[in-house]
Structure 1
Amino acid sequence: MGEQPPVLCLRFRRIGGELPDSAEYEGLIALLGAFTPVVEAAPPDAALADVSGALRYFGQDVTGLASVIRVRALALHGVDCAIGAAANPMLARMAARQAAPGTTFVVPVDGAAAFLGARPAAALDGVGAATARTLCGYGLDSVGRIAAAPLATLQRITGVRTGRDLWERANGIDRTRVVPNAAARSIAAERSFPRDELDPEQHRRALLSLTEELGTRLRTEGQVCRALAVTVRYAARSGYATLTRSRTLREPTAHSVELAGLAYRIQDSLGLQRARVRGIALRAEGLYEAERAAHQLTFDPVDERARRIEEVADRLRARFGPDVVKPGRLAA
């Protein structure tokens, strides 16, 4: 078989193209656990799995093992998988974005340079629109050109740490590993529209509802998050497409106002103002205990008042139910 890529990234969709619900997602994670104990959940619709041991145990190559997983997911949960296989999590995630539903896209262990070379700079993990514009201004508009650039040049353009991260990723180097039982590092929620929704105000309301839900849940569980990821499912020429983008918060928080503000900025950056949206999902990432988080003190009375109101609202929700207090924008 030769050396096989040991990491799979799976993106789940129901047969109709919708995201799996929470029960289906948990079932899919359990299904992966039957093949390998090294499974990292990335809700609401993805997971990473280190299958190096499973390849030897089942005597399959990576394409064959991916096919077995896909058949079981379809048979047991009615969910299809687009699967990327590569030598590390970063490349596997990029490969999964290239895979069509029901297919497996494999990046050979020695094929990272060929896979990455012609891709635009923005295709790299961690490269947002602003960084991509900066790189393009210096002629570094493809991953191959970034990989060929001297490390010192990248560090001068983007900073020491960012420059090194860019150079490593462009050369297919990812020092992260698949972390088993990592579901608690993120939580997610989703809103689906009964039909394709064109009204941007309805999109905004859905995001606000999601941030209220996740914010309340984080505070109840005594956690904060470091980043948010917004996933939008919208109508395209060939059916439905999804677009996901994440950003880091200025400080770890569970404050709903801060979460909503960042979620709105992420949504605006997607450029889908005229899209026919069918569903929006929000994921809070990088969770850890709130008591370990540092909060930048301010003298802003509006911020302090909002936090006090939030505390009172949380107590009311805990006593009378989650819908007893909600923002006025959601009351209609």
Structure 2
Amino acid sequence: MNDEPAVLCLRFRRIGGGLPDSADYEGLLALLGAFTPVVEAAPPGAALADVGGALRYFGQDAAGLASVIRVRALALHGVDCAIGAASNPMLARMAARQAATGTTFVVAPGEHAGFLASRPAAALDGVGAATARTLCGYGLDSIGRIAAAPLATLQRITGVRTGRELWERANGIDRTRVVPNAAARSIAAERTFPRDELDPGQHRRALLSLTEELGARLRADGQVCRSLAVSVRYADRTGYATLTRSRTLTEPTAHSAALTSLAYRIQDSFALQRARVRGIGLRAEGLHGAERAAHQLTFDPVDERARRIEAVSDRLRARFGPQAVKPGRLAA
């Protein structure tokens, strides 16, 4: 593995909070394109960039180049960044999650083992809640323990292919590359409340608006998703904390009702009914073309009627704008 930190993962945040709008996001991608042609969009608020060539051209290390990019993003778009720098996309994404807005977290050469070791199994790319529970049941509750486990043991627990991927990732190995203009593997949206919100009804309403938005975006792009991840940012004694959980859908879908049902179940699992919530985010993961999805046939007339209504609503949105049609619970 090449240990030189040459991959940046950038998470964009507007000054004052929130994600950049679509125009600013396109501008930020163009800004990155001035440093390197190898930029992979991860909308709505992140991007990967392979800056190996740029480091040599600009005579900077990864942290130095990240600082230059941050200054330009602030000056041109009013957007700050949390940036992770590492030798591969997986480590860069994990580093970016550790970085506060306005900072760069660098996983330096030879330090990936120490960076990964104490993190929970669920923090590893590709490990969902179900896989994490299975691993924890065998005492493999941290990335360090997964890395130290014999490959054969992991393959016995999770299967041959998954076991090898787990072992490689736990040891800092990522065979993926930054792919310019690659189709997004996930899409996301979020709602930020103007103040800490105590009303569970408002939390539900925000989540409903997110599932409606992502469902419409998926259908417009001819895509379906395999799983959803819900993030809740709430006030605690130390300031603010964020909880994120993901679950897999019964079948890949872009059907808003199915997305809403699963998102509500994930939200309920947090047991945060009395929490002071500042923001809720939703991410649709495992995207692929709808033509590859096998819809499970049902004989439920209510479900089929809902899908027909959804198709009509999508046509109206395409003609009159995204706010033309919305559920009655969001109309007030």
TM-score, normalised to structure 2, is 0.88
C-alpha distance 183-292 of structure 1, shift in aligned 2 (>3 A): closer
Is 1:163 aligned to 2:163, yes or no?
yes
C-alpha distance 52-246 of structure 1, shift in aligned 2 (>3 A): farther
Q: Deviations over 1:95-126 (max 9, x none)?
A: 11222222221112322212212222222122
Rounded Cα–Cα distance in structure 2 between residues aligned with 1:8 and 1:197: 34
- Cα distance, 1:241 vs. partner? 4.6
- Tell me the SS of whatever aligns to 1:260: helix
Rounded Cα–Cα distance in structure 2 between residues aligned with 1:170 and 1:108: 16
Is 1:260 aligned to 2:263, yes or no?
no
- Tell me the SS of whatever aligns to 1:102: coil
Letter in 1 for 2:168: E
Look up the match of 1:150: 150
1:76-115 counterparts in 2 under 5 A?
Answer: 76-115=76-115
C-alpha distance 120-294 of structure 1, shift in aligned 2 (>3 A): same
2:3, 2:87 within 8 Å by CA — same for their partners in 1? no
- Cα distance, 1:146 vs. partner? 1.1
Report which stretch shifted further, 80-89 or 126-135. Answer: 126-135
1:4, 1:61 within 8 Å by CA — same for their partners in 2? no
Report which stretch shifted further, 234-243 or 275-284. Answer: 234-243
2:129, 2:246 within 8 Å by CA — same for their partners in 1? no
- Cα distance, 1:73 vs. partner? 1.6
2:198, 2:275 within 8 Å by CA — same for their partners in 1? yes
Q: Which runs of 5+ in 1 are unaligned?
A: none
Q: Deviations over 1:139-184 (max 9, x none)?
A: 2222111111112212222333332222111111112211211365
Rounded Cα–Cα distance in structure 1 between residues aligned with 2:133 and 2:187: 31
- Cα distance, 1:329 vs. partner? 2.5
- Cα distance, 1:185 vs. partner? 4.7
Look up the match of 1:48: 48
Rounded Cα–Cα distance in structure 2 between residues aligned with 1:230 and 1:248: 12
Is 1:205 aligned to 2:205, yes or no?
yes
Look up the match of 1:130: 130
Look up the match of 1:8: 8
C-alpha distance 212-110 of structure 1, shift in aligned 2 (>3 A): same
Letter in 1 for 2:14: R
C-alpha distance 244-133 of structure 1, shift in aligned 2 (>3 A): closer
Look up the match of 1:194: 194
The number of residue pairs the alignment matches comes to: 331
C-alpha distance 323-115 of structure 1, shift in aligned 2 (>3 A): closer
1:44, 1:283 within 8 Å by CA — same for their partners in 2? no
Letter in 1 for 2:154: L
Letter in 2 for 1:81: C
Report which stretch shifted further, 243-252 or 83-92. Answer: 243-252
Look up the match of 1:329: 329
C-alpha distance 13-304 of structure 1, shift in aligned 2 (>3 A): same
- Tell me the SS of whatever aligns to 1:226: strand
- Cα distance, 1:227 vs. partner? 3.5
C-alpha distance 156-128 of structure 1, shift in aligned 2 (>3 A): same
Letter in 2 for 1:191: R
Rounded Cα–Cα distance in structure 2 between residues aligned with 1:85 and 1:69: 13
TM-score, normalised to structure 1, is 0.88
- Tell me the SS of whatever aligns to 1:210: helix
2:3, 2:110 within 8 Å by CA — same for their partners in 1? no
Look up the match of 2:290: 290
Report which stretch shifted further, 241-250 or 20-29. Answer: 241-250
Look up the match of 1:306: 306
- Tell me the SS of whatever aligns to 1:225: strand
Q: Which runs of 5+ in 2 are unaligned?
A: none
Rounded Cα–Cα distance in structure 2 between residues aligned with 1:318 and 1:65: 41
